[in-house]
Amino acid sequence: MARRERRDLRVLCLFITFLLGFSAVMGRLAYLQLVRAEEYRKLAEDQRSHLLELKPKRGRILDRNGEVLAYSMDCYNVYAISYLVKDVSKVASELSLLLKMPRGDLENRIKSSRGFVYLARKVDGSVAEAIRARNLDGVGLEKDSKRVYPNRELACHVLGYVGIDNVGLAGLELQYEELLAGKPGKAAMELDARGEPIPGVNRMLEEPENGRDVLITIDAQIQFKLQDQLKKIVVDTGASWGAGVVMDAQTGEILALGVYPDFDLNRFPETKPEIARNRVITDAFEPGSVLKVATALACLEAGVVSPNTVFHIPPELRVGNSTFKDAHPMPKSDMTFDEVIAQSSNVGTIKAAQMLGKEGLHRFLDRLGMGRATGVDFPGENPGRMPSLGNWTDTTLPTVAIGQGIAVNLLQLAVVTAAVANGGYKVRPHFLKNEGSEGREEDAAERDVVCSPGAAASLRKMLGDVVTFGTGTQAAMVGYNCGGKTGTAMKPSPRGGYTKDYMATFAGFAPLEDPRLVAVITLDDPSPIYGGLTAAPCFAGIMEFALLRLGVPLSLNKINTKDMVGKQTR
Least Cα distance to 81 among 46, 128, 123 occurs for 46
Residue range 430-452: average pLDDT? 67
Which pLDDT does position 204 carry in this prediction?
A: 61
Which pLDDT does position 91 carry in this prediction?
A: 81
Flag whether pLDDT at 439 surpasses 50. no
Tens of pLDDT, residues 18-53: 777 666 666 666 665 666 666 666 655 555 566 667
| DSSP summary character for residue 66 | S
494 band by pLDDT with thresholds 50, 70 and 90: confident
Cis, bond preceding 199 (omega within 30 deg of 0): no
Which pLDDT does position 135 carry in this prediction?
A: 83
How far apart are the C-alpha atoms of 173 and 378, rounded to whole Å?
A: 10
Tens of pLDDT, residues 453-485: 999 999 999 999 999 999 999 999 999 999 999
DSSP 344-388: T-HHHHHHHHHHH-HHHHHHHHHHHTTTS----SSTT----B---
Residue range 80-105: average pLDDT? 81
Residue range 65-82: average pLDDT? 90
Which pLDDT does position 191 carry in this prediction?
A: 61
Q: Would you say the C-alpha torsion 323, 328, 333, 339 has a positive or negative sign? A: negative
Local structure of 177: helix, strand or coil: helix
* Amino acid at residue number 37: A
Which pLDDT does position 565 carry in this prediction?
A: 41
**Distance set, CA 346 to CA 114, 328, 400, 402, 503 (Å):** 73, 10, 11, 6, 17
Which pLDDT does position 20 carry in this prediction?
A: 73
Tens of pLDDT, residues 173-229: 999 999 999 888 877 766 655 555 555 545 667 788 889 999 999 999 999 999 999
How far apart are the C-alpha atoms of 222 and 400, rounded to whole Å?
A: 33
Which pLDDT does position 100 carry in this prediction?
A: 85
For the chain, the residue count is 570
Flag whether pLDDT at 568 surpasses 50. no
Q: Which helix (H) or strand (E) holds 228?
A: helix 220-237
Is residue 511 exposed (0-12), middle (13-18) or buried (19+ Cβ within 10 Å)?
buried
> What's the CATH code, domain 220-549?
3.40.710.10
436 band by pLDDT with thresholds 50, 70 and 90: very low
How far apart are the C-alpha atoms of 447 and 524, rounded to whole Å?
A: 34
Flag whether pLDDT at 103 surpasses 60. yes
Which pLDDT does position 256 carry in this prediction?
A: 98
Residue 159 near residue 265 (C-beta atoms within 8 A):
yes
Long-range contacts of 494-503 (CB under 8 A, 24+ apart): 501/525, 502/288, 502/526, 502/529, 503/285, 503/286, 503/287, 503/288
Tens of pLDDT, residues 510-567: 999 999 999 999 999 999 999 999 999 999 999 999 999 999 999 988 777 654 443 4
How far apart are the C-alpha atoms of 485 and 466, rounded to whole Å?
A: 7
Task: Tell me the average pLDDT of the chain.
Answer: 87
Tens of pLDDT, residues 105-157: 887 887 776 677 888 888 888 888 888 888 888 888 888 888 999 999 999 99
Name the residue with higher pLDDT: 58 or 81.
58
- How many Cα atoms within 13 Å fall on the side-chain side of residue 551? 0
Tens of pLDDT, residues 364-383: 999 999 999 999 999 999 99
Flag whether pLDDT at 82 surpasses 50. yes
pTM: 0.83
Residue 210 near residue 182 (C-beta atoms within 8 A):
yes
Residue 534 near residue 523 (C-beta atoms within 8 A):
yes
Tens of pLDDT, residues 271-324: 999 999 999 999 999 999 999 999 999 999 999 999 999 999 999 999 988 899
3-class secondary structure for 441-488? Answer: CCCHHHCEECCCHHHHHHHHHHHHHHHHHCCCHHHCCCCCCCEEEEEE
How far apart are the C-alpha atoms of 187 and 202, rounded to whole Å?
A: 7
Residue range 91-113: average pLDDT? 80
What's the CA dihedral at 176, 159, 224, 432 to 10 degrees? 10
Name the residue with higher pLDDT: 146 or 15.
146
Which pLDDT does position 567 carry in this prediction?
A: 42
Tens of pLDDT, residues 376-430: 999 999 999 999 999 999 999 999 999 999 999 999 999 999 999 999 999 999 9
Interior/surface letters 247-280, b for 16+ CB within 10 angstroms, e for the rest: bbbbbbbbbbbbbbbbbebbebeebeeebbbbbb
How far apart are the C-alpha atoms of 509 and 457, rounded to whole Å?
A: 13
Local structure of 145: helix, strand or coil: strand
Least Cα distance to 64 among 326, 247, 308, 235 occurs for 247
Least Cα distance to 69 among 152, 177, 187, 165 occurs for 152
Local structure of 272: helix, strand or coil: coil
**Distance set, CA 298 to CA 315, 341, 422 (Å):** 25, 13, 16
Flag whether pLDDT at 341 surpasses 60. yes
